[in-house]
A and B are shown apart, each in its own frame.
Chain A
Amino acid sequence: MDNNVTKFGSMFAAIMGIAALGFGIMEFVGEEWGPLTAEGGTFTAWRAIILLCAGVIYLSSVTNFIDVRQIVKAVAASIMIWIVAAMDIWAMIAASIPSGAEEAGEPWFASGADFLAAYGPPYMPAMYLLVPSLVIIYFITRRRIAS
């Protein structure tokens, strides 16, 4: 990988690290801010710990990003974010299918409008980190081409 890509990689890791730390703290606080929610649930503390750890791991990969042992830290942190975000998406899918009605005669499945509404905001913090974390695929590809 050339110097520019390495610099870009370091910047990516630094920004993602700070963002993940910030969102991890938000998960601990557990409130709703506009389209972002970190309100309670069974696993709130787990999510917060994972985001904080992902943030620290991203930041530890900032220096010498060209080295495979450094890039892989950013890859691991990204996978951690993907797991949390994927579970948030899976929770939305699971909530969007049944109608929730309990009486006989009422529909079993959610209506089209309710189905779509389940995917609307507010979203959990990891969802906002999901898309930028995918940038790591660019670095993986560049590394593969370079080697």
Chain B
Amino acid sequence: MWEVKVERALTADERWDLVDKITKEVVKVGAYKPGLRDALASLTVNPWTGIPFAIAVLYGFWTFFGEFAGLFTDGFFVRIFGTHWIPWLSGALEGLPDWLFTILVGDRAVFAEDFVGDPCFAAGGVLTTGLFMPFAVVLWAVIALFLVLAILEDTGYLPRLAVLVDTVLHKIGLHGFAIVPTLVSLGCNVPGVTATRLLETRKQRFMMIALLGVFVPCGAQIGMMEELIPGLIGWVFLTLAIGYLGFGWVLNKIWPGESPEILMDVPPYRAPQWSNILRKTWSRTRHFLMVAVPFVLLGCAIVMVLYATGAMDTIASGLEGFLAAVFGVPADATASLVVGFLRKDLAIGLLPIDAMTNYQVFISVILLTIYFPCLATFAMLLRELNWKEILATLGFLIVTIFVFGGILHLIGLAGGWY
């Protein structure tokens, strides 16, 4: 028998040593003949074969997402809103006072005959762009993401992906299961923050929440990127991944606390049950509709009030020089960046892409992603973190914007890409 004197808490290494001792004494290993499924399970966690396999799975993930969202958004909803709903609404509400028309429908200039652009994004009103974004763009992106995520979970692949990335994530003080909140956040940051409860220590939870809030764009933003800048989306993700790992490494060094090893339960591969997949997808999508959509509408209303009162012009012109000097974004994009404090996805839609160089669009989208988290996510931070951690998250956010945005600006200047 083993005698453990409990005079102090064991360190993580001591606990593992104890586990090894116990295992050696009580577990008898007999002859084992692996089946094909067992062999596939081992192969997908071996880095040499597992990483290429993971690349294929993630390729499937993103392609399915892009095509699914594109089918509904470009195939039907752009026309429903752009050709039918918005023109009809602007005609029906034409007699409203200017301020109310601006809030509900949008800028009257968008409905002039000589307007060049897409009224779905440019109008900005609560009943036009405010409805177009969540129901025509974001909803389909979110459904696709949650559907694929549920399939990966139920087949048993997600825990294997966690094992595969465990070594990398340990370097930044997290462990493999951090991939779960990260992937969930690609749909919506709100359940992503909740999913950080999987992590063991307060340090890991704080780090994960801070990294999610800054470096992981949600389905709404990704949907907008896919719609507006499909050619740049790969660069945006690569840059955000570098930021996620780099700033995670720094946070791990400076934030006190433990990052222990964990034993991961990896289930066998199974054929998924479609009823479960659909139930999970619906439950998460419903959560998105209930939590995120009201914030989209509220964000649109606040933005249009700022435009209607002229406050937006004042704020934008005040920040113009500063943003141009620090981040290299043109004056035309300043208003969009201000909108980003309220709605990141709406802000991406409002970027004057035609008037910007590719690098300016790239840096603006990165800035919008690493900005202040959306209001719904911020509400979750208040629930999940203590005040010290919230202040630290905000500090981390501000430092990240300036350091990361500044570095990207310098790289752009050095490369002559402006």
User: What 0/1 pattern do residues 65 to 77 of A give for CB contact below 8 A with B?
Assistant: 0001101110110
Contacts of A87-141 to chain B: CB distance below 8 A: 87, 90-91, 94, 97-98, 100-104, 108, 140
B234 proximity list for chain A (CB < 8 A): 42-43
In the assembled complex, B52 has its CB within 8 A of some CB on chain A: yes
- Are A87 and B60 in contact, CB atoms less than 8 angstroms apart? yes
- Are A80 and B43 in contact, CB atoms less than 8 angstroms apart? no
In the complex, A134→B83 CA distance in Å? 45
- Are B66 and A90 in contact, CB atoms less than 8 angstroms apart? no
Q: Among the listed stretches B16-24, B70-78, B168-176, B368-376, which one makes contact with chain A, having 4 or more residues with CB under 8 Å of it?
A: B70-78
Partner of A76, one of B44, B62, B70: B44
* Nearest CB on A from B107, distance (A): 22
In the assembled complex, B29 has its CB within 8 A of some CB on chain A: no
- Are A103 and B83 in contact, CB atoms less than 8 angstroms apart? yes
In the assembled complex, A54 has its CB within 8 A of some CB on chain B: yes
Partner of B71, one of A46, A71, A73, A94: A94
- Are A83 and B59 in contact, CB atoms less than 8 angstroms apart? yes
- Are A76 and B53 in contact, CB atoms less than 8 angstroms apart? yes
In the complex, A30→B84 CA distance in Å? 39
User: What 0/1 pattern do residues 28 to 57 of B give for CB contact below 8 A with A?
Assistant: 000000111001101110000100110111
- Are A98 and B59 in contact, CB atoms less than 8 angstroms apart? no
In the assembled complex, A143 has its CB within 8 A of some CB on chain B: yes
In the complex, A87→B148 CA distance in Å? 13
Q: Count the A-B residue pairs with Cβ separation under 8 angstroms: how many?
A: 98
In the complex, A115→B17 CA distance in Å? 63
* Nearest CB on B from A21, distance (A): 13
Size class of the B contact interface (CB-based, 8 Å):
35 or more
- Are B55 and A98 in contact, CB atoms less than 8 angstroms apart? no
Contacts of A23-65 to chain B: CB distance below 8 A: 42-43, 46-47, 49-50, 53-54, 56-57
In the complex, A75→B49 CA distance in Å? 12
Chain A residue, CB-CB nearest to B84: A104
In the assembled complex, B63 has its CB within 8 A of some CB on chain A: yes
Interface residue SS majority, chain B: helix
Contacts A46-B59, A50-B59: A80 and B76 contacting too (C-beta < 8 A)? Answer: no
Partner of A104, one of B49, B78, B83: B83
User: What 0/1 pattern do residues 330 to 364 of B give for CB contact below 8 A with A?
Assistant: 00000000000000000000000000000000000
In the complex, A94→B177 CA distance in Å? 33
B62 proximity list for chain A (CB < 8 A): 43
In the assembled complex, B68 has its CB within 8 A of some CB on chain A: yes
A83 proximity list for chain B (CB < 8 A): 56-57, 59-60
In the complex, A54→B52 CA distance in Å? 8
A79 proximity list for chain B (CB < 8 A): 53, 56
In the assembled complex, A1 has its CB within 8 A of some CB on chain B: no
In the complex, A68→B83 CA distance in Å? 58
- Are B56 and A75 in contact, CB atoms less than 8 angstroms apart? no
A42 proximity list for chain B (CB < 8 A): 66, 230-231, 233-234
A102 proximity list for chain B (CB < 8 A): 78-79, 82-83
In the assembled complex, B67 has its CB within 8 A of some CB on chain A: yes
In the complex, A83→B56 CA distance in Å? 7
Contacts A94-B67, A102-B79: A84 and B56 contacting too (C-beta < 8 A)? Answer: yes
5 more A-B contacts (CB under 8 A) besides A43-B59, A53-B52, A80-B56? A42-B234, A43-B63, A47-B59, A54-B56, A69-B39
A selection of 6 A-B contacts at a CB cut-off of 8 Å is: A42-B230, A79-B56, A83-B59, A94-B68, A97-B75, A104-B84
